[in-house]
Amino acid sequence: MSRLDLSVTDDEAAPQGPLRRVMLLLAYDGSEFHGFAAQPGAGLQTVGGSLGAALTRMTGHEVAVTCAGRTDSGVHAAGQVAHVDLSEEFLGGRPDLDPLIRSLNRQLGPALAVLDARLAPEGFDARHSATGRRYRYLILVSTTPDPLLLHTSWHRPPPLELGAMRIAADALVGEHDFAAFCRRPPRYDGPLTRRVLRAGLSVQPDGRLWSFEIEANAFCHRMVRSIVGTLVSVGEGRLTAADMVSILRAGDRSRGGRLAPAGGLTLVSVSYPEELVPGGVWRPAG
């Protein structure tokens, strides 16, 4: 075999032969990563970059990772869904992906876990097939900080007006142009229409941890954190629930609240059509 032949099995090589799409269920501690999207050459650890690099090493061909929700730096996931295209030669035709899961988890380290893996059904795309995303944002409402919740919640001193925040959250449900709560993509002037299926605040039994859950067909960039920042302003009395409605209608980002910090936010789960994912939501086995 000549040197030239060897070069096509280099780590960076394009895959040779047929590919099979594999879907992955992921959980990660976002505080250990600079977001999901791979940033080649930037020297930053990202979720997609780490996963792609491990699979590239294992398969001998370049592997790109596509996910349902591109979480920002510091944002966590409990049920992120991604897909990768792996050579059939590597997969060896076996339906049991447990050895792949174990091997990935050994390489990736404890901040990123592959919870499950499946051969994807025909036509599945982790991002474009997804019909819904559910996020949770935790607010620690307490006079004192909690070092153990530092990376997973936003600490706000009481009082926060729960009733007013709930009325404001209700106003989000339905189809709206969320321009007021989005970082607008470059070179795009159109509407940022998203359909919010549910949005609500629950308070955990000890009264300290408030959980804001929101599900929508899709989210634009920084939408949940902008919404939470504004909801907290409503809770603090600096805005009213009616202001939330008028900010949403006016599409004026400058009138919203602060951007809530990334650490409070977790991508909980992703929904797909029943024919692609039985039950509609892929959850860890438990």
- Considering only residues 56, 66, 87, 105, which one is a binding residue for a copy of itself as defined by CB under 8 A? 105
The answer to whether residue 72 is catalytic is yes
- Which residues, numbered 181-210, are part of the site for a copy of itself (CB under 8 A)? 207-208
Angstrom CA distances, 53 to 26, 170, 215, 225, stand at: 16, 42, 31, 30
Interatomic CA distance for residues 119 and 26, integer angstroms = 15
- Nearest Cα neighbor of 82 from 34, 33, 21, 131 is 21
2 touches a copy of itself by CB under 8 A: no
- State whether residue 32 is helix, strand or coil: helix
- Which residues, numbered 134-153, are part of the site for a copy of itself (CB under 8 A)? 142-148, 150, 152
- Considering only residues 54, 55, 65, 78, which one is a binding residue for a copy of itself as defined by CB under 8 A? 78
- Nearest Cα neighbor of 56 from 88, 87, 93 is 87
Q: Which is nearer to a copy of itself, 113 or 262 (CB)?
A: 113
Contact at 8 Å (CB) between 49 and 40? yes
Q: How far is the CB of 285 from a copy of itself (least distance, A)?
A: 5
User: For residue 269, what are the β-bridge partners?
Assistant: 134
- Considering only residues 28, 124, 181, 210, which one is a binding residue for a copy of itself as defined by CB under 8 A? 28
Report, as residue numbers or ranges, the catalytic residues. 72
**Binding residues vs a copy of itself (CB under 8 A):** 27-29, 32, 76, 78, 105, 110-113, 115-116, 142-148, 150, 152, 158, 207-208, 266, 284-286
